[in-house]
């Protein structure tokens, strides 16, 4: 299967979200990447369920929701109700990760776990077979437009090895500083899904930029 592109609406024009959602819907984007930040787990606040619900009306494409929040268990049902298809929580925010993953799946969503740049992929050894997705942060979470951390390639290869050894079906998603410059190298290292925020939305022709990322 060829790789998937999940543009991050964090970099979209929030005053024109309907237009931005319709653009993504018509583009070759596979998923919508939706970053939820609480100002506690990360030093920034983005948006929550009402915004997700509002854009759900404009597309049937899967919503790939990346929670950068503490205590995500409290809101799993709400994110499902808002229209989430894939719900990703941070390893660093979940002391009872196994329970959290079961709760996400019980709501009928796909379950993902995200790792901060300093978190070793080996921490997933005993949960990887339960996961649909692992999101490797290639920048420190909290803001768009940061530069890509090169150690990400090594992490992808390690994670790919772990996935193969355990017969896991988890997809590998990369988030932060993704461009057409590094996309091919990320895919060759083992990535299946690429998130791109500013590279897409700050470009002159976002639809074409998405197509370029899809065709690298």
85 is catalytic: no
Of 126 and 145, nearer to ligand DX5 (C-beta) is 145
Measured from the CB of residue 5, what is the shortest distance to Zn ion in angstroms? Answer: 13
Position with the least CB separation from Zn ion: 66
35 near Zn ion, rule: CB under 5 A: yes
110 near Zn ion, rule: CB under 5 A: no
Residue 172 contact among Zn ion, ligand DX5, none, beta carbon within 5 to 8 Å by kind: none
Binding mask 57-76 for Zn ion (x = CB under 5 A): ---------x----------
Residue 52 corresponds to which tokens in the numbers above?
């997700």
- Contacts to ligand DX5 by CB under 6 A: 8, 10-11, 33, 35, 66, 139, 141-146, 175-178, 195-199
Residue 32 CA to residue 5 CA, distance in Å, equals 9
Of 3 and 66, nearer to Zn ion (C-beta) is 66
Helix (H, G, I), strand (E, B) or coil at 45: strand
CA 42, distance to chain mean position in Å, is 15
Of 46 and 100, nearer to ligand DX5 (C-beta) is 46
Helix (H, G, I), strand (E, B) or coil at 102: helix
- CA distance readout (Å), 178 to 58, 60, 157, 196, 199: 25, 24, 17, 5, 7
Of 47 and 166, nearer to Zn ion (C-beta) is 47
Return the sign of the alpha-carbon dihedral for residues 155, 161, 167, 173.
positive
35 is catalytic: yes
38 near Zn ion, rule: CB under 5 A: no
Q: Which of 30, 35, 38, 64 is catalytic?
A: 35
Residue 84 CA to residue 104 CA, distance in Å, equals 10
- CA distance readout (Å), 98 to 36, 73, 187: 21, 11, 28
Q: Which stretch binds Zn ion (CB under 5 A): 16-24, 27-35, 78-86, 104-112?
A: 27-35
Residue 56 corresponds to which tokens in the numbers above?
């759900």
175 near Zn ion, rule: CB under 5 A: yes
Of 30 and 35, nearer to Zn ion (C-beta) is 35
Measured from the CB of residue 27, what is the shortest distance to ligand DX5 in angstroms? Answer: 16
Task: Name the percent of the chain in helix, strand, coil, to the closest 5.
Answer: 40, 20, 40
Q: Which of 38, 64, 132, 175 is catalytic?
A: 175
DSSP states of 62-73 as a string?
A: PEEEEEE-S-GG
Catalytic residues: 35, 175
């Amino acid at each position: 299967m060829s790789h998937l592109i999940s543009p991050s609406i964090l970099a979209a024009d929030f005053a024109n979200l309907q237009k931005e959602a319709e653009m993504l819907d018509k583009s070759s984007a596979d998923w919508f990447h939706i970053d939820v930040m609480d100002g506690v787990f990360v030093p920034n606040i983005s948006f929550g369920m009402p915004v997700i619900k509002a854009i759900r009306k404009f597309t049937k494409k899967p919503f790939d929701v990346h929670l950068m929040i503490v205590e995500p268990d409290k809101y799993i049902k709400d994110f499902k109700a808002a229209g989430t298809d894939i719900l990703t929580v941070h390893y660093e925010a979940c002391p009872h990760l196994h329970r959290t993953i079961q709760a996400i799946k019980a709501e009928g969503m796909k379950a993902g776990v995200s790792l901060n740049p300093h978190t070793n992929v080996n921490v997933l050894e005993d949960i990887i077979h339960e996961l649909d997705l692992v999101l490797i942060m290639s920048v420190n979470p909290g803001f768009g437009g940061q530069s890509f951390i090169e150690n990400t390639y090594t992490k992808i290869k390690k994670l790919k090895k772990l996935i193969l050894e355990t017969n896991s079906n988890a997809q590998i998603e990369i988030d932060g500083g993704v461009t057409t410059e590094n996309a091919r190298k990320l895919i060759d290292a083992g990535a299946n899904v690429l998130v791109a925020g500013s590279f897409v939305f700050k470009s002159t022709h976002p639809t074409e930029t998405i197509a370029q990322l899809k065709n690298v």
